[in-house]
Chain A
Amino acid sequence: AQSVTQLDSHVSVSEGTPVLLRCNYSSSYSPSLFWYVQHPNKGLQLLLKYTSAATLVKGINGFEAEFKKSETSFHLTKPSAHMSDAAEYFCVVRGGYSTLTFGKGTMLLVSP
């Protein structure tokens, strides 16, 4: 069994300030973890993925995430938010050969 908990349904930041979107997971297997971004009425775009290599993963658009096994976390960060980062973000886990399990999403709001 596997599950994902995104701890915040909404996060608000000002442009130029850091972004932190939190994600905790559980999995019976060594998991693969992903972060996706979705803009309104669009499909999901992969930001980054962790697949048992380096624990600090760099993705597109300046985002990165750190896999912490002891904390079962995979938080997404960005040093400086941009207006175009406003979107919904999903943390996803895949354990073994199972299907993907999505978190409920975190809406990132960026104010000028």
Chain B
Amino acid sequence: SQTIHQWPATLVQPVGSPLSLECTVEGTSNPNLYWYRQAAGRGLQLLFYSVGIGQISSEVPQNLSASRPQDRQFILSSKKLLLSDSGFYLCAFTGRQGARNTEAFFGQGTRLTVV
């Protein structure tokens, strides 16, 4: 079966420190991968998506970056965190490119607090 793992679940980091959130997928190959940030009352904002290894699209300019070193691994990073980076981050995947009617599967999320 298809599963997605995201860690850590919670993270408290000082301003200016680096960030690395990791997401891995099992049970599927060549998935589309996504990073979302969720702020209260504002729904989910798409940060990055990837249709293949090394292929990253950024939806909004920001202090974050993403990488996809392997087919089923997606990493969200920052060199220096800002207070405004605090939020709830969700990783997700959908079925292989072209399967447009497939739903997205979500990780359990990471609550990031920058202090």
A-contacting 9-mer, from B12-20, B68-76, B103-111: B103-111
Chain A contacts to B: CB under 8 angstroms:
9, 32, 34, 36, 41-46, 49, 51-52, 90, 92, 94, 96-97, 99-100, 102-105
Is A96 touching B106 in the complex (CB atoms < 8 A)? no
Given A41-B111, A42-B108, A90-B44: 11 more A-B contacts, CB < 8 Å? A34-B103, A36-B106, A41-B109, A43-B6, A43-B107, A94-B100, A94-B101, A99-B32, A99-B49, A100-B104, A102-B44
Q: Is B103 a contact partner of A46 (Cβ separation < 8 A)? A: yes
Evaluate contact between B94 and A100: CB separation under 8 angstroms: yes
- Chain A residue contacts of B42, Cβ below 8 A: 104
Which residues of chain B come closer than 8 Å to A32, judged between CB atoms?
100-101
- On chain A, the residues within 8 Å of B106 by CB distance are 36, 43-45
B82 within 8 A of partner (CB): no
Interface residues on B, range: 20 to 34
Q: Let me know if B108 and A97 touch, CB within 8 A.
A: no
8 closest pairs, A vs B, by CB?
A51-B101, A104-B43, A43-B106, A44-B106, A102-B44, A43-B108, A32-B101, A102-B43
Q: Which of B62-115 contact A (CB under 8 A)?
A: 88, 90, 92, 94, 97-98, 100-101, 103-109, 111
Query: Which residues of B pack against A, CB within 8 Å?
Result: 6, 32, 34, 36, 41-44, 46, 49, 88, 90, 92, 94, 97-98, 100-101, 103-109, 111
B12 to chain A, nearest CB (A): 14
Q: Across the interface, do A99 and B34 meet the contact criterion of CB distance under 8 Å?
A: yes
* Contact between chains at A105 and B88 (CB < 8 Å): no
Give the docked Cα–Cα distance between A45 and B92 (Å): 11
Please, which residues of chain B bring their CB within 8 A of the CB of A41? 88, 109, 111
